[in-house]
Amino acid sequence: MHPKRQSQQRGGVVFGVPHRHYRVTDSTNSRARELAEDGALGGTVVTAREQTAGRGRLGRVWTAPEGKALLYSAILRPLDERHLLLPLSVPLAVCAAAEELCDGIECTVKWPNDVWLEQRKLAGILIEAKPQDGWAVIGIGLNLSIAPEEFPADLRQPAVSLFAATTEPRGGSRRSLPAVAPPGPPPRLATAAKVLSSHLGRWVSAPHDDVLAEWRRRDGLLGREVAWEEGSGIADGIDERGNLVVAVPGGGRVSLGAGEVQLRL
């Protein structure tokens, strides 16, 4: 059976058909949004070697040197109740893809939807949805081979790539990237996109219990001190709706929604 039909039978989505690749564009999310507005099929993927106006969360700019990051946007449609945990399921798909692309690593997730490798940001995710029209664009920037000195100096959080060596000690462990990075070149962008598409297809429509369990297994914030505008406390996992639960001083717990707060670590 054609893989697309096989997956649709299981109620999943096949990403990557069709796939439109640009050598350079302003933002793959912007291209994918235009396509979605024009009625493009769910599963359509847009990638680029380079973006001139890449967008991050909270109105930030997202930059990456040409050809050194997977710049990927996928259209999800139709949207339904299976996708309520989309902001959690997408980072899980990115973790699985990164681990398939780079043997021996283990990724964690940082609420609301970053992917970490040894406490540094490996990938960022920007989901832009138009629920009234039944679609969402899932934008992913996955650092593949950006050298440490190529990241902008003013990054709020330290960043890392799957395949770029650094001599600095990383995270709490004293390991440096060459100890965990495979020798050999990074994958081609097309290969990385295919791997990501296949994990995305599995995770975006996964049962909510599976998403919550996998998030809890990969939770990189658990037990860490977090602060936001109105308070601070110790991260204590996520609730059933994907809100961050924080144990606050003096006892008690608060739930934080991704749209409401900006965390400081």
Residues in contact with ligand BTN by CB under 6 A are 27-29, 51, 54-57, 60, 62, 71-73, 124-126, 139-141
Closer of 88 and 125 to ligand BTN (Cβ) = 125
Helices (H), the chain: 3-9, 28-37, 86-101, 177-180, 189-203, 208-218
Closer of 94 and 235 to ligand BTN (Cβ) = 94
Q: Which two tokens stand for residue 19?
A: 């796939």
Separation of alpha carbons 250 and 262, rounded Å? 22
Closer of 28 and 198 to ligand BTN (Cβ) = 28
Using DSSP's 3-state secondary structure scheme, residue 148 falls into helix
CB of 69 to ligand BTN, least distance (A): 7
Closer of 156 and 253 to ligand BTN (Cβ) = 156
CB of 139 to ligand BTN, least distance (A): 3
Amino acid at 1: M
Nearest to 240 by CA among 263, 211, 219, 217: 211
Using DSSP's 3-state secondary structure scheme, residue 205 falls into coil
CB of 60 to ligand BTN, least distance (A): 5
CB of 47 to ligand BTN, least distance (A): 8
Distances (CA, A) of 124 to 130, 161, 232, 234, 236: 20, 12, 24, 23, 22
Closer of 7 and 263 to ligand BTN (Cβ) = 263
CB of 153 to ligand BTN, least distance (A): 17
Separation of alpha carbons 158 and 146, rounded Å? 13
